[in-house]
Structure 1
Amino acid sequence: MEKDLKEYITPPVLLILFLLGISVMIVSPVLNMVILGAILAYAIRPLARKITSKIKFKSISIFLAVILVMIPLVILIAYIISVISGVLSEVLIVNPTGFNLNLDTIINQMINNLPADVSSSIDAATIKSSLSTFITDIGNVILDYIVSLASKLLSISVDLFILFASIYYFIRDGDKCYNFVESFIPRESKDFFTRTVNSVKDVLKSIFYGHFLTSLIIGVIAAIGYSLLGYSQGVFLGVITGIFQLIPVFGPWPIYWTLAIVDLLSGNYVRVVIVLLFGFFLSLSDMYIRPALSSH
């Protein structure tokens, strides 16, 4: 056994192992972007193939497919940042006096809705001070996070470049990668390897077409519903609901419960009932939409 091992440990093998170790050290900081690029490439590849059937230039079709998929994501992120920045600037920078007046109104309404023996023992000034400090701290944390992201703009740009490059080359040469890996599989294990790959494909299709489409549908329904209920940022609330829907532990409930609590404190009891019923409808819709999409 020792003799056979020494026969395998030759200078070319040692050189390959050394280069492989160096490659892992270089790639490991951006490995997450490469893996994400491979997953996104699997989702974008059908669109790229359809465009290729029309244009006949593979590189151009891949580029167009990536652009068509990424543009909505960029617009969505820009919209979220613009809404949050606008609210924070208006509340904390541009119009702090108006914010204090609105906070006074909300606190007074909340106290007036309480029984007389309870409201008489509540100090409105203390509540206002605590809420103002809490909201200001949250705003400062968000602003600090945005500033930190801006300071990491170069690193983020490099990660995005690696992500786009990974998507492009995995779409273009993904079949070659698969054939390269398959060439190392022993003949007696090829059937098992094929079944495993097909199972992974089914899981990925279930994630993309079931999970993401469900979040998109729930987000659109939520945006329409919140707008009809009279919330000033109905579209934004729908977008956040769709994002929360992507997180398995959460779903849409944090949004509609928060809105219900705000309406309860402001004395809008009718809308409390309606928004909770609407929220329960969103949660139940998820139980139907996701299995219906994933099963196909």
Structure 2
Amino acid sequence: MKLLKRYKNKIIPIILLLILFLIVLIYLCNDSINSVANIIIISFILSYLISPARDFIEYRFKIKKTTASLLIIIGILSLIITCVVIIIPELVKEVSNIGVIFDNIAEFLDSISGRFKMINFPALNSIYNEILEKGNIIFLNFSKSIINNFILITENIISCAILPVVVYYFLCDGEKIYNKILLILPTEKRALTKRILNDIDKVLGRYIASQIFLSVIIGCMTFILLIIFKVKFPVWISLLNAILNIIPYFGPIFGGIPAVIVAFLDSPIKAFWVACGIFIIQQIEGNILSPKITGDSTDMHPIVIIILLLIGDKFGGFIGMVLAVPIGVVIKVLYDDINYYLF
């Protein structure tokens, strides 16, 4: 018994690490646990993202946290329903015209083939046929992806319905849950843990807010550019550019390519001017908006960010690239705080 008390501070962390390892193992191996855990994780992330809006409503209108949480959930659901009613039909209409783009590509390639008489050059003719085949494969994969995503959303409709409820409880009782989890730790470690978590919350909150604000601005600027030059699918391309802009460095490049390609199908001159417009937007974002809005929220060297993005892409694709920098920010704050408080 004396021996147990003596090594209590060492045994508890080991037990906690073993429990954490077991939870991760079960999450990876059991599909049922995986789906439940995903709902909790997604709900936590969403509640964390919208908690500043809840705090603002609570403070501004002097109402209870439960009322503010309910209002923010109702507001977001209303916004989603409005988008579904107004925007989705337009997006469906634009998607139905995707086949026209591929027809234009085929016609363009046919004209190039006829102009340069590629049939007389077996190597060029082979490349031409390969391009057509790859184009058909891309179109088929795109169609399958839309169908599969629709089926996936239909299959997970119950999970989607549960999400707002779980988010609501996280918004209302997040602080209570946070304090209960802290009780697991030894008393002398709780104050330090709170301090470190508060530091993470400040830095991560600033980074997320700045990136969302920046993405909204870039999406609006892209939409205006596409409307001016009458480029097809302005809503799709603007949304894509805004979402991809969340990824530092690579996002603006990935987001600008679809706009130029779609404009090129109408006219090479139009593609040139759209490319110039996208380049100007990227310069404004990279040299003016990003430094002012994002500032030094990450305080990491660009090489470190690029490495994080490459690792994120390797392990999680697009989602991995989106999460790579926030995870890097958390690790950096942990490292700095542990160095400061413990050493």
TM-score, structure 1 as length reference: 0.71
User: Larger relative contact order (C-alpha < 8 A, sep ≥ 6)?
Assistant: 1
Partner residue in 2 for 1:33: 39
Aligned-residue sequence identity (percent) comes to 21
The correspondence of residues 37-48 of structure 1 with structure 2, limited to 5 A, is 37-48=43-54
Cα 1:63–1:285 change in 2 (3 A) is same
Larger Rg: 1
Aligned to 1:120: 117
Cα distance between partner residues in 2 of 1:44 and 1:166 = 13
Deviation string 1:195-217 (CA, Å, 9 cap, x unpaired) is 21122112331232111111111
Cα distance in structure 2, aligned partners of 1:86 and 1:153: 20
**How many corresponding residue pairs?**
272
Q: Deviations over 1:140-187 (max 9, x none)?
A: 223222332333345422322342222111111011112223334444
Q: Kindly indicate whether the alpha-carbon contact (under 8 Å) linking 1:223 and 1:235 is maintained by their aligned counterparts in 2.
A: yes
Aligned residues of 1:106 and 1:266 also touching (Cα < 8 A): no
Offset of 1:87 from its aligned partner?
Answer: 4.2
C-alpha displacement at 1:266, in angstroms?
6.5
Instruction: For residues 83-122 of structure 1, give each alpha carbon's deviation from its aligned partner in whole angstroms, at most 9, with x where no partner exists.
Output: 5643453455xxx7x974x45653466568xxx7xx2345
1:27-78 Cα distance to aligned partner (Å, 9 max, x none) = 4432122122112212322323444453846544322202323444566578
Aligned twin of 1:65: 72
Cα distance, 1:247 vs structure 2? 3.2
1:219-244 per-position Cα deviation (integer Å, ceiling 9, x unaligned): 11111112212313223321111121
- Asked whether the equivalents of residues 218 and 282 of structure 1 are also in contact (C-alpha less than 8 Å), the reply is yes
1:45–1:80 distance in 2 versus 1, CA, 3 Å: same
Gap change, CA 1:139 and 1:28, over 3 Å in 2: same
Return the alpha-carbon distance in structure 2 between the equivalents of residues 251 and 79 of structure 1: 27
Whether contact under 8 Å (1:37, 1:166) holds in the other structure is yes
Any conservation in 2 of the 1:88–1:139 contact (CA below 8 Å)?
no
RMSD: 4.1
- Paired with 1:165 and 1:282, the residues of 2 have a C-alpha distance of 39
Q: Which residue of 2 aligns with 1:202?
A: 202
Which amino acid counterpart does residue 70 of structure 2 have in structure 1? Answer: F
Taking the aligned partners of 1:28 and 1:52, their CA distance within structure 2 comes to 34
1:261, CA displacement in angstroms? Answer: 5.2
Judge conservation of contact 1:103–1:128 (CA < 8 Å) in 2.
no
Match of 2:278 in 1: 279
Tell me, in whole angstroms, the C-alpha distance in 1 between the residues paired with 2:289 and 2:275. 20
Q: Contact 2:119 / 2:125 at 8 angstroms: preserved in 1?
A: no
* Residue 300 of structure 2: aligned partner: none
The SS at the match of 1:167 is helix
User: What letter corresponds to residue 147 of structure 1 in structure 2?
Assistant: I
Whether contact under 8 Å (1:244, 1:252) holds in the other structure is yes
- Aligned partner of 2:274: which letter? V
In structure 1, what is the Cα distance between the partners aligned to 2:222 and 2:57? 33
- Measure, in 1, the Cα distance between the counterparts of 2:130 and 2:256: 24
- Counterpart residue type for residue 35 of structure 2: P
* One-letter amino acid of the structure 2 residue matched with residue 278 of structure 1: G
Equivalence map 1:160-171=2 (5 Å): 160-171=160-171
| Matched-pair contact (CA < 8 Å) for 2:207–2:294 | yes
Paired residue secondary structure (2:158): helix
Residue in 2 that maps onto 1:180: 180
Give the stretch that moved more between structures: 201-210 or 153-162: 153-162
Structure 1 residues 76 and 40, CA gap change in structure 2 (3 angstroms): same
2 CA distance for matches of 1:185 and 1:111? 71
**Alignment-derived partner of residue 108 in structure 2:** 106
Check 1:70–1:292 CA distance in 2 against 1; reply closer, same or farther (3 A cut).
Answer: farther
* Partner Cα distance (1:88, 1:154) in 2: 19
**In structure 1, distance between residues paired with 2:131 and 2:90:** 22
Distance 1:294 1:260 in 2: 27
Contact kept, 8 Å, 1:245 with 1:252, in 2: the verdict is yes
